[in-house]
Amino acid sequence: MEAMTTEKSKSKLIYETLRKVKVLDEHIDKKGKFSYISWSVSLDYLYQHFPEAEVKTHLDHEGKPWHDYGKKGSMVHVSVTILGVKRELWHPIMDNRNNPKLDVNVRDVNDSLMRAYSKCISKHGLGLYIYQGEDTPQLTPKDLLEELEIFINNHFEKSEAQEKLKKVTDGLKKYKGNEANELTFLKECFKKIRQQLS
């Protein structure tokens, strides 16, 4: 009973943490009428908050990374475990019209796995509103500054991180009181810092 309570509290902590993350508009892609977060962006956001998270591809009985159901199509099976809390997702391998693809190649499998990782991470709370078709939560300068601080601290040594954060906070003072300009400035900082890492 105690173990179950602990898992529930961990699950709640994970969900509440990731549900509050505001995914930047430029990180939301569209395919037809559907919106989604790319796998690389999902992983980046996930590891900023839970660097010990484990993303796993489940193989079939022959060791292949997809499960073939003959004329019914094929699926991939992935899981994401955070603090011992595991979420799983089965994702069909589809063509560009979202119909099951019967003649599967390695590129199809890879694409389906990437989509599955992103959707499975969302089951823990990250960007779930995007897959539900809701509007993006209102992003404030405070929210974005917090996200930027987490990102910098996770990607740079302490002294360099402090230096970068000081530049950001000093630069932000010029726009104090103008929320739209503060957001524009912070988004530009985020973009430049990501470019430094690529």
Reported as a single tens digit per residue, the pLDDT across 18-51 is 988 877 777 777 666 667 788 888 999 999 999 9
| Residues 67, 10 within the same domain | yes
Domain span at residue 20?
2-131
53: left (phi over 0), alpha (psi -120 to 50) or beta: beta
Cα dihedral sign, 61-62-63-68: negative
Mean pLDDT for 133-162 is 73
| Residues 56, 113 within the same domain | yes
Is pLDDT at 105 greater than 80 in this prediction? Answer: yes
This prediction has a pTM of 0.64
| Residues 157, 78 within the same domain | no
Give me the percent of the chain exceeding a pLDDT of 70.
Answer: 88
Number of domain units in the chain: 2
Residue 190 lies in a domain: yes
| Residues 114, 36 within the same domain | yes
The values of phi and psi at residue 167, to 5°, are -60, -40
